[in-house]
Structure 1
Amino acid sequence: MILYHGSNVKVEKPAILKANRTLDFGNGFYTTSNKEQAYKWAKIKQARENSTQGFISIYKFDEDIFNDKAIKTIVFDEANEQWLNFVIDNRMNAGYTHDYDIIKGPVADDRVYACLNAFENKFMDIETAIKELRTYKLADQISFHSIKALSFLDFIECEVI
Structure 2
Amino acid sequence: MLPVNDVCTVYHGTNLFAAKIIRDIGIRLDAQRDLTDFGKGFYVTLNLQQAKSWAQIRAMHPQISPEILDQLNISKSQYFNHPDTKIPAYLAYELNLKELRQLKGKEFPLPHEPEWPHHQRSWERFVKECRAGKKHHYDYVYGPVGGSHLTDPDKIKVSYTKDQLSLNSMKATRCLSKLKIVACKPEGTHTKKSIIKQLLNHVRSLESVIDNNMFLLEIRDELMAIGNLTSQQADKVLRKSLASLQLNPIMMHEPAAYWSFSILYGTHKLWHKEYEMYMRKKNQVRK
Same fold at TM > 0.5: yes
SS in 2 for 1:138: strand
Partner residue, 2:36 = 23
* 1:141-156 equivalent positions in 2, closer than 5 A: 141-156=164-179
SS in 2 for 1:120: coil
Query: Given the two structures, how large is their TM-score scaled by the length of structure 2?
Result: 0.45
Query: Given the two structures, how large is their TM-score scaled by the length of structure 1?
Result: 0.78
Letter in 1 for 2:109: D
Q: In the aligned structure 1, how far is the partner of 2:12 from the partner of 2:141?
A: 15
Contact conserved, 2:33 with 2:40, CA < 8 A, in 1?
no
Gaps of 5+ in 1: 122-128
Deviation at 1:66, TM superposition (A): 4.9
Letter in 2 for 1:98: H
* 1:67-106 equivalent positions in 2, closer than 5 A: 67-68=101-102, 71-78=103-110, 80-91=120-131, 93-94=132-133, 96-106=134-144
Contact conserved, 1:73 with 1:102, CA < 8 A, in 2?
yes
Deviation at 1:138, TM superposition (A): 2.7
Partner residue, 2:163 = 140
SS in 1 for 2:148: helix
> CA-atom RMSD, angstroms?
2.2
Which of the pair is proportionally richer in helix?
2
Q: Deviations over 1:38-63 (max 9, x none)?
A: 11111121111163201111100122
Contact conserved, 1:17 with 1:29, CA < 8 A, in 2?
no
Contact conserved, 2:34 with 2:40, CA < 8 A, in 1?
no
Label 1:56 to 1:14 Cα distance change in 2 as closer, same or farther (>3 A).
same
Instruction: Report how many aligned residue pairs link the two structures.
Output: 142
Q: In the aligned structure 2, how far is the partner of 1:17 from the partner of 1:7?
A: 17
Partner residue, 1:37 = 50
Gaps of 5+ in 2: 1-7, 63-79, 112-119, 185-287
Letter in 1 for 2:99: I
- Give the number of the structure whose alpha-carbon radius of gyration is greater: 2
Q: In the aligned structure 2, how far is the partner of 1:114 from the partner of 1:102?
A: 25
Q: In the aligned structure 2, how far is the partner of 1:44 from the partner of 1:21?
A: 19
Contact conserved, 1:57 with 1:155, CA < 8 A, in 2?
no
Q: Deviations over 1:98-132 (max 9, x none)?
A: 01101111011xxx3126x61617xxxxxxx7xx7
Label 1:20 to 1:72 Cα distance change in 2 as closer, same or farther (>3 A).
closer
Identity %: 26
The question of 1:48 aligning with 2:61 is answered: yes
* 1:121-140 equivalent positions in 2, closer than 5 A: 133=158, 136-140=159-163
Q: In the aligned structure 1, how far is the partner of 2:88 from the partner of 2:182?
A: 8
Label 1:66 to 1:155 Cα distance change in 2 as closer, same or farther (>3 A).
closer
